[in-house]
Chain A
Amino acid sequence: MNRPDADFIIIGSGPAGVSAAFPLVAAGRRVLMLDAGNDAGSQEESRSARVLGADLEALQVDDGSSPKLQTPVSRGILERFRGNSGITGSGFTPIGSLARGGLSNIWGAQISFLDAEDIADWPIDIASLQRSYQRISERIGISRNSNSTRSAHGEPVLPLGATAAHVLHRNTVTKPANGSFRLFPAINAILSEARPGRAACDLSGDCLYGCPTGAIYNSRQDVLQLRKSPHFRLLDNMRAVSLRRDAAWTVGTADGSSFSAPRIILAAGVLGTAALLANHLPIEEQGLRLLNSPTLAIPLLSPARLLRSSTPTHSLAQLGLSLRYGDRPSDYVTGAIYEVGSLPAQSFINRMPLGRRAGRAAFETIGGSLLVATIYYPGDQSRSYIHRDATTGKSLTIRGGFAEGFDIRVDALKKALRREWKRLGLIQLPGASLAEPGIDAHFAGTLPMGAPGPFGTSADGELNLHSGLHIVDGSIIPDLSSKYITMTIMANADRIAHRLAETEAKPAS
C-alpha cells in the first residue's frame, strides 16, 4: 500500500475545519485539507462590485430571501452548493457552501457561549468546552458593542447604534415585565483593533456585502495562517464526493483524484457531511433527523428615536436578547437586534405597500428609529428530515416543518415579547415573519455525540461503526440550543482535535 497522504484529511475549510486543523498542526501532525473552493474572491473589490456583483448579479429581481442572502456575495457563496450538492428542499431551504471559508463568508458573526445547563445531555464536561471557547476567541478576535470605548473588563468594544443604545438604557431603568428577559450588547466576531492582515472595523456599515477590511471573522483568514505551517497542506477545487474504507480511509473527489489517511475529519457542514455519508448510513424511510432553529423576524419602531441621527456602526447585531416564556425546557428563545438604518434599504422597501419613491422617503426618515429583532427557537421546535431518493438512492431531499404545537408556542412567545417591547418603548410593527426552515443555516444534530447506533458518534466525533471517521461540524451537536451555534461548533472541533492530537496518530517520523 502507498504511504498515506497525511495523518489526517480534513474535508472543508469552514470554521469547523480550520478549528480542527490548528491543534493538529500545532502537535506536528500532517494535515491535508481538501477545499471545494479556491482562493478566488478577493476582498479588495470596489464597493460597486461588492454591492452589485462583478457581473451585476444583484440586478436580478428580489427572490424574497433575507437581506443577508440577497447580496451578490451570498449568491456567489451559495450558488455552487445549490448546483452541485444534489440536495433539494421541500418546505426547507438547504443552505451550504462550496467556497473557501464555507458559510463563514456570510455569517452573522454573532458569538454565544453555551453553559453547563445547555450541554447537560452532552457526553463532555463544560470545562473542556470552555477551554476551547477561550482558544477560539483569542484566535478569531471578538468585540462587544458598547456605549463606552472600552468595557469594564478591558475588552475591546465597538460603538453601539444610537437606537440600540437607547433601548438598552430603557432596559436598565425599567423593571422587566418577565424576570427571565435579558437584553445585552451583542458580542460579535468583529475586530475593534487591527491585527496582522486584518484591519479594525471602519464602521462603514458594509457588513452584508463582504467586509472589505477583514474585520469580520472569516475562516479564509485562518486558512492563510494554517498555510504557513509545513505540516499543513491545502488542495483547492477538491470537492469530496466519496469515502472508502480499506486499510485506511480514502477520499474521492469530483475530479477523480483520491487521497488516503488513517483518519478523516469531516467538516463539510451539516448538509455537506450528510451528503458524503449518505452511502454509509442506513437512511431508511423515516430519514435522517436534522435540527434547525425556526427563526422569527419582528420589525420594531422606537418612537423616541424618530428623526434623530444615528451612530455610525457596523450593520450586524447590535444587541442580544434571551427570554424564557414558558415552563418547558425548550420554551426559551434567544435573539439579536439589528438597526434597520444600517441595513440595505431595498429589502425593506420591497415589502412596503408604498411606491418606491415614497418608500425611500419613509425609509430615510424613520429607518434610523427602526429595529429588527430576529428570534431563534431551539432546534427541537423544528421537524426536518433528510431523505434519500428511493429510485436513484443518491440525491437527498430535506423535508422541513415545525414541531407539533409550535404555533401555540409562537403565540405565547409573541405575547411575552410584546410586553417587553412595550416596556422598552418599542412599537411592534406589522410584518413579523417566520422564515422558511433552513434559511438561516442553523443546522445540527444529524449524527449526535453520545448517541448509540449507526447515527451516533463518540465524544470525539468518531462515527459509530466507522473507526477513523471523525465528524467535527454541527452534525454532532446533540441538541441545537436557541443560542448562536457557530462559536460552539468551532470550540467543539477544537476540543476534538486536541483530543486526537493527544491520543491518535503519532507524528510521522
Chain B
Amino acid sequence: MAPRLIITGSTGYIGARLAAMARERGFDVVELGRRPEAKWRIGDEPATSDLEGAAAVIHLAHSWATGAETAEENNINISGTVTLAKAAKAAGVRRFVFASSTSSRREALNVYGRTKFRIEQHLATSPAAPIVRIARIGLVYGGPRTAMFGLMAKLSVLSPLLPMIGLSRKVQPIHLDEVAAGLLALATDENQPPQTFVLAQERPISFAAWLRILRRSQGKGKLHFIPIPLAAALFACRMTKLVPLVPTVDPERVLGLAGAAPMESGESLKLLKLNLADPMTVLSQELGQKSEEPSRSEAGALLRYLGSTPTEAQLQRLSEGLRREGLAPLGLSPTLIKHPRLLALYEPPANRTQHRLAKALYLADLASEPERQRGQKAGLFDAILTIGTDILLLPLRALLARRYR
C-alpha cells in the first residue's frame, strides 16, 4: 500500500505543488484544510482516524486571520500547530514537518516571522518534539504566479523605475519544486537528524538583485530603484487597499522583506541532496515561456528555414518584428520548430501577403538582410530542387497552409 501523507494548507502556493509532487511519486495524499469537504481547520483537534496510518504530516497551513500582536495563548497558529503535532504523535505518525521561514527570529520585524519562531519553540518543548522536523524556507519562486512570488514578478515588470524598500536586504531564493522536494524528503527520509533545516540558496543575494533577475527573466531591460523609507512603504501598502485595480500589498509582507536575514543552508541542502538550480536560468524558461520563448524559437525556425544560421541580432530583430505585427506567437508546432525544413509543407506563396506564415517569413527574410552577403549564390542543383519541390508540393501546401492562416 502506498505510504500515506497528510498535508495541511494543500491549496496554497507551496501546498498545491507539494501535493501534486507527492501524488506523482506514489504517495496516498490526504489534504487537511480549506477544501469544501474539509473536516479540519487550523486550531481544530483533528480526528485520530484521519491521522492514523500516515507516514508523515506536513504542516503548511497558516492562518492570517490572527491579529497583529495576539497573545500567545490566543494565536491560533501557535496553539493549532502544537495541537496538530501532539495529535500526530499520539496517532503514531512518525514525522511532523513544520514549514517555517527564514524570517523566523525572535526579534523579527513582522508578526509572521515572530509567530513562526514561537511555533518552533513551542514544538521543541512539546511532547511531539521527537517527531518534529522544522524547515525554514527561503524566498520561494517559480510555478504559478501567485502569492509573494506572483506579486514580485508583477512588480518587477511594472516599470523600469521602482520605489522599493529593503533593497540591500539579502534574500535566499529557492524554487517551488525544490521546496516541495525538500519537504517531501524531510517527511519520508528516516535517516534525517531531528534538527532545523534551511531550504534556501546558499548564497544570499540582495533584494534589488532579485527583482532584477525577475525582470530580466521576463524579457525586460534594466531595473532602477528609488529607495524608500519603511514608513512610507507601509503607508503605501495601506493605500493600495483603497485604490482599485492595483495589486494589494500586505504590509506584513513588506515587513517580512525588511526583516529578512540570511541563514546558513549548505548543510541542510547537502543532507537533503538538494542541488539548487540557478534562478535566472529557471525563471527565464518559466516566465519567458509565455511571451518571449515561443516567439524566439519560432523566429529561429523561420530563419533556419530560409537558410540562414540565425545570429543573436537577427533573432532579436525578428522576435520584435513578429511581436509588432501581431504574429507572435505564430503557434508553430514543436515538430516544426525542431525541423524547420518541414515548413515547406505549410508555406503559402510569398505573394499571399495576408497569410500569417507568409508575412512572418517575409519579416524573417528582411531581418536577415543586413548581414546578407551580396552576390552569394545558391548551387544550381539545390535551387532547382527547392523550386521544383515548391511547385510539386503546391496543392498539398494550399491545403496545409490553412493551419497557420
Contacts and interface: CB of A to CB of B under 8 A. Distances in A.
A, B in one complex = yes
Interface of A: 46-48, 51-52, 56, 58-62, 204-205, 307, 309-310, 312, 341-342, 344-346, 349-362, 364-365, 368
B379 to A, nearest CB: 9
Contacts of A309: 375, 377
A357 B324 contact: no
Contacts of B374: 204-205, 312, 342
Given A61-B353, A356-B347, A356-B350, 6 more contacts: A60-B325, A61-B359, A61-B362, A350-B362, A356-B364, A357-B361
A48 B370 contact: yes
Contacts, number: 126
**7 tightest Cβ-Cβ pairs between the two chains A and B:** A59-B321, A358-B390, A48-B370, A355-B347, A361-B383, A361-B386, A365-B383
A62 B352 CA distance: 11
Given A52-B370, A365-B378, A354 B350 contact: yes
Contacts of A358: 386-387, 389-391
Contact of B317 (A59, A349, A357): A59
B358 interface: yes
B369 A52 contact: yes
A355 B397 contact: yes
B320 A364 contact: no
A59 B375 CA distance: 23
Nearest to B385: A361
Contacts of A51: 366, 369-370
Contact of A350 (B313, B350, B371, B380): B350
B132 to A, nearest CB: 59
Given A52-B317, A346-B365, A352-B351, A364 B378 contact: yes
B34 to A, nearest CB: 50
Contacts of A48: 313, 317, 370-371
B325 A59 contact: yes
Nearest to B320: A56
Chain B interface residue bracket vs A: 35 or more
Nearest to A48: B370
B307 interface: yes
Contacts of B376: 364
B183 interface: no
Contacts of A60: 324-325
A361 B378 contact: yes
A350 B348 CA distance: 12
Nearest to A311: B375
6 contacts: A346-B365, A349-B362, A352-B350, A356-B362, A357-B343, A365-B377
Contacts of A59: 317-318, 320-321, 324-325, 363, 366-367
A51 B369 CA distance: 7
Contacts of A62: 353, 362
B349 interface: yes
Contacts of B349: 352-355
Contacts of A355: 344, 347-350, 361, 390, 397
Contact of A362 (B359, B387, B397): B387
Nearest to A307: B380
A336 to B, nearest CB: 21
Which of A46, A351, A357 has most B Cβ within 10 Å? A357
B306 interface: yes
A355 B390 CA distance: 7
Interface of B: 305-307, 313, 317-318, 320-321, 324-325, 343-344, 347-351, 353, 358-359, 361-367, 369-371, 374-378, 380, 382-383, 386-387, 389-391, 397
Contacts of A58: 366, 369
Contact of B344 (A344, A345, A357): A357
Contacts of A349: 350, 362, 365
Given A48-B370, A59-B324, A357-B386, A350 B351 contact: yes
A356 B353 CA distance: 11
A353 B364 CA distance: 18
B366 A364 contact: no
Q: Is the interface of B mostly helix, strand, loop or mixed?
A: helix
B121 to A, nearest CB: 60
Contacts of B306: 356-357, 360
Contacts of A350: 350-351, 353, 362
Contacts of B389: 358
B347 A56 contact: no
B351 A353 contact: yes
Given A59-B320, A60-B325, A61-B325, A364 B383 contact: yes
Given A61-B325, A205-B374, A365-B377, A357 B362 contact: no
A164 B369 CA distance: 25
**Taking each of A58, A59, A351, A352, which has the highest tally of chain B beta carbons within 10 Å of its own beta carbon?**
A59
A68 to B, nearest CB: 15
Contacts of B363: 59, 61
A356 B366 CA distance: 11
A352 B378 CA distance: 18
B366 A365 contact: no
Given A350-B350, A355-B390, A365-B378, A360 B365 contact: yes
A354 B306 CA distance: 13
A242 B353 CA distance: 42
A454 B365 CA distance: 52
A56 B317 contact: yes
A102 to B, nearest CB: 27
Contacts of B343: 357
Nearest to A367: B377
Contacts of A52: 317, 366-367, 369-370
B387 A346 contact: no
Specify which of A309, A355, A358 lies most central, judged by the most chain B CB atoms within 10 Å of its CB: A355
A325 to B, nearest CB: 31
Nearest to B341: A357
B357 to A, nearest CB: 9
A364 B377 contact: yes
A241 B370 CA distance: 39
Nearest to A62: B353
A62 B353 CA distance: 8
Nearest to B376: A364
Contacts of A61: 325, 353, 359, 362-363
A351 B375 contact: no
B365 A56 contact: no
A354 B321 contact: no
A351 B351 contact: yes
Contacts of A356: 306, 347, 350, 358, 361-362, 364-365
Contacts of B391: 354, 358
A46 B391 CA distance: 38
Contacts of B380: 307, 365
Contact of A361 (B318, B320, B375, B382): B382
Contacts of A360: 306-307, 365, 378
A342 B391 CA distance: 26
Interface centre among B359, B382, B386 (most CB of A within 10 A): B386
Contacts of B358: 356
Nearest to B352: A353
A310 B362 contact: no
B378 A357 contact: no
B127 to A, nearest CB: 69
A361 B317 CA distance: 23
Which residue of B306, B325, B371, B375 has the most chain A CB atoms within 10 A of its CB atom? Answer: B375
Contacts of B365: 345-346, 349, 356, 360
Given A51-B369, A56-B324, A352-B350, A346 B362 contact: yes
B355 to A, nearest CB: 11
A62 B351 CA distance: 10
Nearest to B343: A357
Contact of B369 (A204, A344, A359, A365): A344
